[in-house]
């Protein structure tokens, strides 16, 4: 059993129309669909997404999320190790 309260993984929520092709070379990502319908494009395959769908993306896995429904696609992303790739990118760009 995983004690979530003791985990240092990062959580991120996204509401999106479409997320372009992206890969996080240093992070495992777990994506949980909260609302909406879409498609996960990865590894040359398309995977239908609906509320409750969960997908694991290993480090470096190129992927994109496409909203295919009329409502906003809302997902929860859990990243390991702890930290947010977006926050890390913001900190890197701020120092440039």
Report pLDDT digits (tens) over 4-58: 333 444 555 455 555 667 777 778 888 899 988 999 999 899 999 999 999 998 9
pTM: 0.69
Q: Which residue has the higher pLDDT, 87 or 68?
A: 68
What is the C-alpha separation between 81 and 78, in angstroms, rounded?
A: 9
Which residues, in sequence order, are CB contacts of 88 under 8 Å at separation 6+?
Answer: none
What domains can you pick out in the chain, each with its CATH number?
A: 4-94 (2.60.120.10)
């Amino acid at each position: 059993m995983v004690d979530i309260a003791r985990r240092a993984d990062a959580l991120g929520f996204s509401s999106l129309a479409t997320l372009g092709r992206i890969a996080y070379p240093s992070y495992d990502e777990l994506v949980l669909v909260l609302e909406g319908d879409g498609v996960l494009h990865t590894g040359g395959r398309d995977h239908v997404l609906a509320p409750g769908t969960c997908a694991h993306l290993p480090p470096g896995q190129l992927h994109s999320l496409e909203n295919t429904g009329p409502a906003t696609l809302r997902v929860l992303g859990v990243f390991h190790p702890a930290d947010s790739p977006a926050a890390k990118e913001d900190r890197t760009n701020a120092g440039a």
